[in-house]
Amino acid sequence: MKTSSYIPALRYHWLTGFYDFLLGITFPEKKIKQALIEQLNLTGNETILDFGCGTATLSIMIKKNFPSVRIIAIDVDDKVLSLAEEKIKQAGEIIELKKYDGEDLPFNACHCFDKIVSSLVFHHISTMRKRIILGQLPKLLKPKGEFHIADFGKASSLYTKLAFAIFRRFDGEENTRVNALGLLPEFIKEGGFQEVKITQSFGTAYGTVYLIKSFNI
């Protein structure tokens, strides 16, 4: 299957190798991801899907906090998965990496995950693909399984509104429209999730990031 077109994390493939460094000096990535991990409320016995894992920063942080969880991490970008594989080796963790073609999630409605987590991914995805993916994800969760997401949403201040307006030029006006309008929680509900709640927000140099929690039916 052909991988769907996508915009790399920093828009251009040649910048991918600098992703972790640039994010680390301009964005409170670890703070947001740690808050997301705390929101997961893990016991250590779960099987987790990291959707759009990037360079695996979140997966590695989860494993270091909860070594006994099983994490399967997927992404569409070959280069970013290579970076993730190297980081995982250096961290000495066991995390299963899978290539996702951008069309069909590679699990065939398995209902095998306790929790799905996604960090700063959905603003890269077109409106149509958002709807499709959010309709597929509930089929991967066990009954009452949880979906936790961190992503950009409607600006909480004039500064973050201006910042996100600039940032949107990199990730595409169409891809980021749902986020900018604050509609991502509604899209999650339409996908089949329930009790969709915004739990925290973070003002950043690129816009306002929200944590969202929801449950499978």
Cα distance between residue 180 and residue 169, in whole Å: 12
- Condensed to tens digits (0 to 9), the pLDDT of residues 99-119 reads 988 888 888 889 999 999 999
Cα–Cα nearest to 159, from 208, 194, 123:
208
* pLDDT value at residue 38: 98
Report whether pLDDT(135) > 60. Answer: yes
Assign 204 a pLDDT band (cuts: 50, 70, 90).
very high
Show the tokens assigned to 114: 């306790």
Query: Is the sign of the CA dihedral 103, 105, 106, 108 positive or negative?
Result: negative
* pLDDT value at residue 105: 87
Superfamily of domain 13-215: Vaccinia Virus protein VP39 (3.40.50.150)
- Condensed to tens digits (0 to 9), the pLDDT of residues 49-78 reads 999 999 999 999 999 999 999 999 999 999
Neighbours of 52 (CB within 10 A): 25
Mean pLDDT score, 144-167: 95
* pLDDT value at residue 212: 98
Mean pLDDT score, 119-125: 94
Assign 8 a pLDDT band (cuts: 50, 70, 90).
low
* pLDDT value at residue 2: 44
The three-class DSSP label of residue 35 is helix
Cα distance between residue 122 and residue 216, in whole Å: 18
Mean pLDDT score, 172-194: 96
Q: What are residue 94's phi and psi, to 5 degrees?
A: -110, 110
| Residue spans per domain, the chain | 13-215
170, 10 contact by CB (below 8 A) = yes
Catalogue the long-range contacts made by 128-133 (C-beta closer than 8 Å, 24 or more residues apart).
129/4, 129/102, 130/178, 130/184, 130/187, 131/187, 131/190, 131/191, 133/51, 133/105, 133/191
Instruction: Indicate whether this model's pTM tops 0.85.
Output: yes
171, 144 contact by CB (below 8 A) = no
Show the tokens assigned to 65: 């906090």
> Whole-number mean pLDDT of the chain?
90
* pLDDT value at residue 15: 47
Query: What angle, rounded to 10 degrees, do the helices at 57-65 and 29-40 form?
Result: 50
Higher-confidence position of 23 and 209? 209
